Amino acid sequence: MALLAGGVALGAQADHMARQQAEQQAAAAGPGAAHAAASGRFGEALQQTQRWLADCLPATFLSHSQARGGGTAGAGGTAVDLRAAGTAPLGGCLSPYYISDAAAKAAPAVVNITVQASGVLPVGSSGSGFIVESDGTILTNAHVVSDAIQRHYFGAGSNSTGGGGPLGPGKGITVTLQDGRIFEGRLVSYDTVSDLAVLKVESDAPLPTARLGRSSSLRVGEWVVALGSPLHLQNSVTAGIVSCVDRKAVELGLAGARTDYIQTDAAINKGNSGGPLVNLFGEVVGISAMKAVAADGVSFAIPVDAAVDVMRQLREHGRVIRPYVGIKMLQLNKHNAAQFRKRDANFPRVDAGILVPGVHPGSPAERAGLRAGDVIVGFAGRSRDVTTTALIKALGEHIGKPLALKVARPGDVIETVTVVALEAVDGHH
């Protein structure tokens, strides 16, 4: 109803804008020509304005506006035919199908996952997932297949480099596609720290895949669509906006997590886990993971960029390699850096970098000489865009190798500290 009212209001505004434009142009031509030119120029200006409106409003709303005098009449009261002007009748940013179109692009690749329980219950963990490769490779949350992971873990004898073969007859994973096809899945690999798992099904024909987007390009307020099987209700779709693009794990009480999360108000409930969060192009930008228990409209997804990196490392190394140096990090900008300087006159005069609030005793950072209060302003030849994400990536590429850090210290002293990162011991298989 609000959208319809908006269409009528825009139509009326278009009339006013077009009439003003025509009158100004006619007046500029002289008093004698004003009356003769006003009618024709008004009609031309109105048609141009209505074509612009048609690009942002569906024809159905403009039809209501026309019926109620919303400004679709040209010179002499002739109605402007927007369709004849070459405008798509339902195209544009407010098409009633813009959510439907996005969901339809990803839906064929979305799957429902159920795991047979080990005990007396017939069904164990369950959730959603999506096919990322036509050979049947599926990405989902690790907690969706937690029962399978437990059997695999204990069956493999806690092998940290295990990689997941078939779980055996009667103890497998059932994968159901949107079109009704059912496959027996197997656990290929998983990483409990990032809460991601890779499954595989065998098919004689190529399977539909979801197109992967870039979570780094997401903006707050952008529309997103969540697909999955909440409460075992398969092929469900919900929509909302991105509420935050980099919600820190520590803000959610997830001390062991090593990634930021996408926060959205799209409904994500039990069973949505592992399903795709897509943008309006139908591209996967996140993997639905969890929701706030005591609130509605507060849900979280793993950024697809992080998921792609986890998949790559699981495939290449059989595990996710993460660095450990033993420091806490705080991203600086000109605003919080100014606050720190106001509190402490000896705080380094920097507008960006990474503040080290604390150093763990006996850690590689402490052995290298890093101290609490240091500000990392460069590393590996980088002096711009010094971010925590970039530093973690660089440390991951230098595990067991020296990495030179450029450090600013109280009194505006710049020193170089060389640190050797260790590989963190995490839950990957």
Residues 103-138: pLDDT tens digits? 999 999 999 999 987 666 566 788 999 999 999 999
* List 143, 152, 428, 429, catalytic entry: 143
Q: Please indicate, yes or no, whether the overall pTM of this predicted structure exceeds 0.75.
A: no
Comparing 164 with 202, the larger pLDDT belongs to: 202
Burial (CB count <10 Å: 0-12, 13-18, 19+), residue 61:
buried
Annotated catalytic residue, options 125, 236, 273, 288: 273
Q: Is the per-residue pLDDT at 1 higher than 90?
A: no
The token duo for 118 is 């080990």
Nearest to 115 by CA among 175, 169, 163, 41: 175
* Dihedral sign, Cα of residue 393, residue 398, residue 319, residue 248: negative
176 near 167, Cβ under 8 Å?
Answer: no
pLDDT at 325 over 80: yes
Q: Which domains does the chain have, with CATH numbers?
A: 99-153+169-201 (2.40.10.10), 222-317 (2.40.10.10), 323-423 (2.30.42.10)
pLDDT single digits (tens) 4-50: 334 444 444 445 555 555 555 555 555 555 455 555 655 665 665 55
195 is catalytic: yes
3-state secondary structure of 409: strand
How far is it, in rounded angstroms, from Cα 58 to Cα 50? Answer: 12
Of the residues 195, 260, 305, 374, only one is catalytic, namely 195
143 is catalytic: yes
Bridge partner residues of 182 (DSSP): 176
Q: What angle do CA 204, 210, 216 make, to 5 degrees?
A: 150
